[in-house]
Amino acid sequence: MDVMGGFQGFGYGEWMLVEELFDAARLHSLETVFTIGNGYVGTRGGFEEGFPRGWSATLIHGVYDDVPVVYTELANCPDWLPLLVVVDGERFGLDKGEVLSYRRQLDLRCGVLSRYVRWRSPGGKTIDILFERFASLADRQVLCVRCQVTPVGCDAGIEVQGSINGYSENLGFNHWELLNQGKTDKGIWLQVRTRSSRIELGMACEMRVSGAEFSLETSMVPGYPTLSAQFPAVSGQTVTVEKLVTVFTSRHVENPVNEARGKLGELLGWSVILETHEKAWNDVWEKSDIAIEGDIKAQVAVRYNLFQLLIAGSRYDDRVSIPAKTLSGFGYRGHVFWDTEIFILPFFIYTQPAIARNLLTYRYHTLPGARRKALHYGYKGAMYAWESADTGDEVTPRWAMPNDPYAEDIRIWCRDREIHISADIAYGSWYYWQATKDDEWMRDCGAEIILDTAIFWMSRVEWNTQQERYELREVIGADEYHEQVSNNAFTNRMVQWHLQRAIFVYEWLGQEFPEKAAELAQKLQLTPERRTRWQDIVQNIWIPYDASTKLIEQYEGFFQLEDINLTDYEPRTKSMQAILGIAGANQRQVLKQPDVLMLLYLMRQSQEFPYDADTLQKNWDYYAPRTDITYGSSLGPAIHAILASDLGKTAEAYERFMQAAMVDLEDVRGNAADGIHGASAGGIWQAVVFGFGGIQFLGDEPIANPHLPPGWTRLKFKLHWRGKWHEFDLHPFVEDGEDGEEITSTSLSPLSPSS
């Protein structure tokens, strides 16, 4: 591959991310960056031979287990990667001997991670090793890793040990108990179970050697079954060792280890598995790719972010969603936030609707947890968890406990107060339905989500007798720097929006599916009085908006807080909350992330109150300079990019866009080690399609009104809308020799009816 550009130790091509020099200081963040997966399993980019203090991890959707303080987390599953190469008795590792050449690359087109190393052992033997791995997209239970070894200018006795490591930990916590292990004709297997949730996992593996005469041995260290291939290797001759792995859990099959062993017996071999895997990826990219010409860095960064979303979205299971850090790290413990419905979902709705449906159906299956939460807090209906896992019960930790033994514990209020999540889920459900016209899903799942959360709002709002209006007190809006606020404009307007949709959905259901409407009316006690109440709330909920200035007050009293000039704090490398302290940020007009602007963005889709160009301009001018966009939340920059683009602030739009696009690749916030910033990745898609592409769905067809960033000569993508694919091929256009960028190209006609 020709390397066409570079940044921070990476080179890249249009579909390739290349690490040209190994830097142990970036070990953990690069493990995140080089995560591979297939929508079922995610495996961080740890090395096959390991590395001291590495955070290797394989996370499987839905495999949660109990853990103190944070309740539950995705358990780090047995490691399928170990492939140790021993050269004349000396074990290969990047921390020993001499690394003469190094290159690691991720092929985004097909999700194959490879690493080439020329290594001189302490004893002086030089050897080329090429490692490759992928998680089959065509067959989710199949994981493949191989190495090719070639002695350089010497002969050597080589041993390659392939193991299943049952001792994987979540940063020091081992979730597994060993049930059994064993060997078969050519392979080994391991059977383990999570300690509390009692999910059983079976993994089996075999090794195939070609290019030399070899002998194969098995060793049964408890929890670490190993296959060892030994062979003599001759200078210049390549020997290939393939390790094929299968994995099943009791979430889907009764006897995972038997299934894993059975499946292993059916596997044909590396090249056949790779071929079907590549084909599956081709099909996926056919629909989901965004092609950018004229800006190769943006091109690879966008594809990288989409790749990370594509390997996180569940193709097979509608009882799981996408955790905030996808399946790529321990951050947020595999918990699911509004990040999914508001930031990530649109990419799937418009390019992989079947995955979008799975993500939303997870919210349907977790309604019982949301109902338990409502009941616990003394409300009716369904109150979704701010952080959700397998059951939908609230799993946001109550306390954050600092490492410093003398520091105070910090109460986390989001679990109690960040209630906008219920409206966000309704919002995602609504737009999925609008885009797909999947009436069946709305009838069977979406309606119950939207209606039972509407009942929650009815019990949550308060009537202010003096002001004669409905209010929502003690909430946290999108901006988490302010933790105990009343009448947050974002929350109140989203609730109003939600109740309007609930009324519509109930009427629609009554007309289209009267039996289902009657069933839900009974189950949820949707009495006419309750529906009248919804209407009353819609009409009388207070949105702190001043019609004369068009300024929306973030919440009641926000404008009375001490003002701040963020430029006074530059240059800085920390968030404003880290600088001012929790109370200090709380008392000032500084935002962690867009709040009023987030509301304007969400209302932009249907151009509803309070969205209009003038209101956007006024509120942008007020709130953008007060937002801690670089060090606050990673959810902010993509949204600012879209709004800045709407406002014609091309340079700022591009800057924010690249900030979001590079958040993991350049470790912009210093926390890439914890896992991929999934919401930012989803925001990137929205920034390109809705922002730069200017896509809107106001009529029967999506329409483009593009503002391409300077230098972009072409922007191409597809959208699935109401049963048809629409292809957009956008170019900048200079009108009649005049300078300045005026864009003309719009949508082409639909390609074909959807299947």
Closest separation between CB of residue 395 and ligand BGC, Å? 13
Question: What is the rounded distance in angstroms from the CA atom of residue 382 to the CA atom of residue 372?
Answer: 8
Helix (H, G, I), strand (E, B) or coil at 136: coil
User: Which residue, 371 or 592, has its beta carbon nearer to ligand BGC?
Assistant: 592
Compute φ and ψ for 144, nearest 5 degrees: -130, 135
User: Which residue, 150 or 671, has its beta carbon nearer to ligand BGC?
Assistant: 671
Question: Does an H or E element contain 215, and which?
Answer: strand 215-221
Closest separation between CB of residue 628 and ligand BGC, Å? 11
Give the annotated binding-site residues. 338-339, 592-593
Question: What is the rounded distance in angstroms from the CA atom of residue 674 to the CA atom of residue 93?
Answer: 24
Closest separation between CB of residue 421 and ligand BGC, Å? 9
Residue type, 579: I
| Alpha carbon of residue 211 to chain centroid | 41
Closest separation between CB of residue 7 and ligand BGC, Å? 24
Q: Which of 355, 366, 411, 373 is nearest to 64 (CA)?
A: 366
Closest separation between CB of residue 298 and ligand BGC, Å? 23
Question: What is the rounded distance in angstroms from the CA atom of residue 336 to the CA atom of residue 325?
Answer: 9
Question: What is the rounded distance in angstroms from the CA atom of residue 462 to the CA atom of residue 724?
Answer: 44
Q: What are the tokens at 335?
A: 């918990």
User: Which residue, 84 or 635, has its beta carbon nearer to ligand BGC?
Assistant: 635
Contact 600, 619 (CB under 8 A): yes
Compute φ and ψ for 334, nearest 5 degrees: 80, 15
**Of residues 480, 483, 553, 666, which has the active-site annotation?**
480
Question: Would the CA dihedral through 438, 442, 444, 449 be positive or negative?
Answer: positive
Sheet holding 724-730: strands in order across? 290-293, 714-721, 724-730
User: Which residue, 107 or 424, has its beta carbon nearer to ligand BGC?
Assistant: 424
Give the annotated binding-site residues for substrate. 338-339, 592-593
Closest separation between CB of residue 325 and ligand BGC, Å? 8
Write 725-731 long-range contacts (CB < 8 A, 24+): 725/287, 725/750, 725/751, 725/752, 725/754, 726/701, 726/702, 726/750, 726/751, 727/751, 728/693, 728/695, 728/704, 730/693, 730/704, 730/706
Closest separation between CB of residue 532 and ligand BGC, Å? 34
User: Which residue, 461 or 635, has its beta carbon nearer to ligand BGC?
Assistant: 635
Closest separation between CB of residue 338 and ligand BGC, Å? 6
Contact 322, 344 (CB under 8 A): yes
User: Which residue, 324 or 345, has its beta carbon nearer to ligand BGC?
Assistant: 324
Inter-CA distances, 31 with 19, 166, 411, 677, Å: 12, 20, 31, 14
User: Which residue, 340 or 436, has its beta carbon nearer to ligand BGC?
Assistant: 340
DSSP category for residue 677 = -
Which residues of the chain form contacts with ligand BGC (CB under 6 A)?
A: 324, 332, 337-339, 480, 592-593, 633, 635, 679
Q: Which of 533, 540, 602, 543 is nearest to 381 (CA)?
A: 533
Which H, E and C letters describe 233-269, residue by residue?
A: ECCCCCEEEEEEEEEEECCCCCCHHHHHHHHHHHCCC
Inter-CA distances, 210 with 229, 234, 243, 583, Å: 11, 13, 12, 64
Which H, E and C letters describe 467-485, residue by residue?
A: CCEEECCCECCCCCCCCCE
Closest separation between CB of residue 481 and ligand BGC, Å? 9
Q: How many beta carbons lie within 10 A of that of residue 318, not counting itself?
A: 18
Is residue 480 flagged as an active site residue? yes
User: Which residue, 47 or 338, has its beta carbon nearer to ligand BGC?
Assistant: 338
User: Which residue, 176 or 362, has its beta carbon nearer to ligand BGC?
Assistant: 362
Inter-CA distances, 337 with 174, 333, 421, 422, Å: 25, 11, 8, 11
Contact 457, 380 (CB under 8 A): no
Q: Annotated catalytic sites, by residue?
A: 480
